[in-house]
Structure 1
């Protein structure tokens, strides 16, 4: 009887194991990648991901991606150039027949690596099921003084300098795999010709004590239990780590400390997301204001080095505090720490502070450009099922079309391996030691001051005013008056260097008056902008929108876009906000033209199609609402479930069920 029971138990266990094995064979990879890359798995869904495709199918994917970029990437000509895009696609397609699978994936990634500064949001995530590359159990970081192992499953490797991979110098490998550099993925190394096989990757290293060693590091797939454990360990948040070379996410989103001994207020700002409903970024700004009101302040350090972004709409309370508090808005008080990992909404915050405060920037150049293509939507390639991200929104956080690829620090402090491994924060040391040098200003007469004062047109959507407060001259640039719901664009005191040249609070930014001309010149870094005098009653398109002068605003915006000027997210918001206001006043028919203009100017944005669909729904124009919702769903498949629910409520009983 016992023998029978054991047989039954053994048979049951065998069935369980076979069932588990079958489930894992079918669902294992989707399950694993849902843990590491849930956003891509959401888009792929239950579609089969092929492991082998013909060259023609890969070429079809490249053509499909090019078409997606033309249709969904905002200002594609500015980001890529239509002819450059066509040439790039043709050249990549010619390479496909002789390429390996990894090389073909890299070709897709290179097509999404756009050439214009500020396009870093668009790209191909390598952590996704259709890629399924093997991983090395380590992280290598490119310090200013070389490539070093900063994390490793074998902790004895941490601190070693990587000299070569497979016999190729590390810097040459990084250059061959630019812009991604030395990642943990094995297949790109073989695709670049660095190694012949990827089961074990030979790394030549120098240990901290100077010895040269070679280690063969085994690469393993995402299905490996050891890989899962190691990668999961790197996803565990850490607290208080300052070095951008540390791969762990940071916690909490933000925090502050005040040192009575030095009167230094330090703010570590790791993510532009509210920590909770009880402790928001606005609450953080209020807390900082209380400290500034009640404590002596020598310096304020805002640390953005590990901030990869978040919600652009949450930063204004901090900008207002740092730019307007009398104790902080002084030269040599506010210091903003940057690194290559400062990105997206954190970059927007840095740019706002550059234009609206007396901030001194410290560290490395940020990982963002002053003007950015941001806010992405996922796109699915038809054959390979690769999921890429494409930007549909443009954030003009710098001056129009300014060419800077990065915000460069005023105090450059390169990140070195010694700083990281010895836990020596050289950027904060530089903050404590820095004292601003004297500004050699002159006194100018009232008549000379008067030559600068007035209202000027900076761009089709920017107005500049030079104001004489009797104490000093000030520069104010706006995109619409505060009642239009827009924040100031630039605010600075002006410091006379001569009777025709004024310095601003911003590094390498000056206001100049040219002899014999009523125009002023804003010398901004390496670019000069003409300030044309206008009447004090000169309005901007955003003000026309708020005042209900729709036809005037629409004509100006259409003309501006036709000229090649990039209308940004502020215009999108102004249009949809005006429509929302009218809808709230039970005037949906008046709101409609604002939503229609938003779709005309920004057809790539799912947000404006969503707003238009709701407007049609209020007007009971069901067929048009359905079309707008379907466009919304096409532009952002992540929101497909929510859109389908709205469509079901709109559809008549005689219409087919929405899929």
Structure 2
């Protein structure tokens, strides 16, 4: 089937069904139904739907779902929920022979092959003539997420031809049209014309770099692990959707390690945890609350844009119940958010809509993220050099705050000064 082939079922009626499904399913669906902006957006899409290319139509649906500012109410372009949950419409299988990673200071090509090879290690400056900062700002406006970190986390998706063309991030062109990427490396400009194809991302050559210490501490293939580093105990909790038995074994190992007299602080690393079953974090959380580390200077939690869903639940509960200091970058979720999404089956796609509110902070907490108390943004030079600024800060920080459960900063935690800070990566300047 060619990339411009129409999806078989009438799109206008399909869009109307998805709209009704979202209004009936999402906890804030009734608010959406009464909002003129929600209604007019769907009406505009319905009027154009049957004449649109598949990529434009599906990105149009995505933009409407973004009204909820909910990272669970979305559609998946990549394989993070498995092949069955991905968009399977024409053109969405096409990729380019590069992969890019977002950093605080730019979007860098971190793997490449063939015609993309000259871009390896370069900072992308333009995509099909559009400044990458402008493209990402446009992407953030239409991409479902609780906050701007979601668009930052997913920035590589602007290099998916179906997203680039369908969301109109660059000049109009067919989804199979070549994509010109301009970049800067070592003070020199480089340009490559990339051809979309289904196998473009197979066997990419990664950029050589020095690993972070936490990457070298992992003892084996298990996603979660514990590592004692001098007087600090690092608990790397990367996955909440592993088997119950494996998580229980990991948590028991953490409990035992916390008993070592030499350990003076715990560093809980949630930066690579994008969720799962939030009940799987409860045992560790409650143990930390009752432990000798629940004091100023005893507990540090590393967070970032990948900290999402059940990992955000864990973050919010620890923030509410402990003296933890948060280090890194803003979390990918909001302290009060919706989740447990169920799928709407469309023609060639699934759209997921949240069903339950997960409010782990107080009802007045309107934050869109958990901000770090100690900001340690990830920059490209640190990543290539293997320098983990967030981990270093958690090891070195001295917290002389008094242990006062009645302090304003502890009781009114959502209003503490760090939560008023801004986050300005390169594309939000």
Query: Contact 1:165–1:194 (CA<8 Å) still a contact in 2?
Result: yes
Report the CA distance between 1:373 and its aligned residue. Answer: 1.1
2:192 to 215, 221, 228: 215
Equivalences for residues 125-524 of structure 1 within 5 A = 125-126=76-77, 127-133=86-92, 134-154=94-114, 157-178=119-140, 179=143, 180=151, 181-183=155-157, 184-191=159-166, 192=168, 194-195=170-171, 196=173, 198-207=176-185, 209-221=186-198, 224=199, 227=201, 229-230=202-203, 251-259=221-229, 262-275=230-243, 277=245, 279-281=246-248, 283-326=249-292, 328-381=293-346, 384-439=347-402, 493-495=405-407, 502-504=408-410, 507=413
Distance change >3 Å, CA 80–CA 217, structure 1 → 2: farther
Report the CA distance between 1:190 and its aligned residue. Answer: 3.0
Query: Contact 2:100–2:109 (CA<8 Å) still a contact in 1?
Result: yes
Report the CA distance between 1:100 and its aligned residue. Answer: 3.2
Q: Please tell me the root mean square deviation across aligned C-alpha atoms, in Å.
A: 3.2
SS of the aligned residue for 1:294 comes to coil
TM-score normalised to structure 2 length? 0.80
Query: Contact 1:324–1:357 (CA<8 Å) still a contact in 2?
Result: no
Query: Contact 1:308–1:342 (CA<8 Å) still a contact in 2?
Result: yes
Rg larger in 1 or in 2? 1
Query: Contact 1:337–1:363 (CA<8 Å) still a contact in 2?
Result: yes
Query: Contact 1:122–1:376 (CA<8 Å) still a contact in 2?
Result: yes
Query: Contact 2:41–2:64 (CA<8 Å) still a contact in 1?
Result: yes
Query: Contact 1:251–1:270 (CA<8 Å) still a contact in 2?
Result: no
What residue number does 1:124 align with?
75
C-alpha distance in 1, partners of 2:110/2:11?
Answer: 36
Query: Contact 2:370–2:419 (CA<8 Å) still a contact in 1?
Result: no
Instruction: Please state if 1:52 is matched with 2:6.
Output: yes
Report the CA distance between 1:296 and its aligned residue. Answer: 1.8
Distance change >3 Å, CA 230–CA 276, structure 1 → 2: farther
Higher relative contact order (CA 8 A, sep 6+): 2
Kindly provide the CA deviation profile for residues 473-513 of structure 1, in whole angstroms up to 9, marking residues without a partner as x: xxxxxxxxxxxxxxxxxxxx224xxxxxx552664559xxx
Distance change >3 Å, CA 137–CA 505, structure 1 → 2: farther
Report the CA distance between 1:276 and its aligned residue. Answer: 6.0
SS of the aligned residue for 1:280 comes to helix
Query: Contact 1:355–1:506 (CA<8 Å) still a contact in 2?
Result: no
Report the CA distance between 1:173 and its aligned residue. Answer: 1.4
Kindly provide the CA deviation profile for residues 110-142 of structure 1, in whole angstroms up to 9, marking residues without a partner as x: 1222334xx110111124322542111222223
Query: Contact 1:174–1:182 (CA<8 Å) still a contact in 2?
Result: no
Query: Contact 2:335–2:369 (CA<8 Å) still a contact in 1?
Result: yes
TM-score normalised to structure 1 length? 0.54
**Structure 1: where are the runs of 5+ without partners?**
1-24, 30-48, 244-249, 442-471, 473-492, 496-501, 511-522, 527-659
**Structure 2: where are the runs of 5+ without partners?**
78-85, 144-150, 421-429
Kindly provide the CA deviation profile for residues 154-202 of structure 1, in whole angstroms up to 9, marking residues without a partner as x: 5553311001111111111112222354413113323416244544211
C-alpha distance in 1, partners of 2:411/2:325?
Answer: 10
Report the CA distance between 1:53 and its aligned residue. Answer: 4.4
Query: Contact 1:131–1:386 (CA<8 Å) still a contact in 2?
Result: no
C-alpha distance in 1, partners of 2:31/2:262?
Answer: 48
Instruction: Please state if 1:65 is matched with 2:43.
Output: no
Report the CA distance between 1:286 and its aligned residue. Answer: 2.7
Query: Contact 1:254–1:268 (CA<8 Å) still a contact in 2?
Result: yes
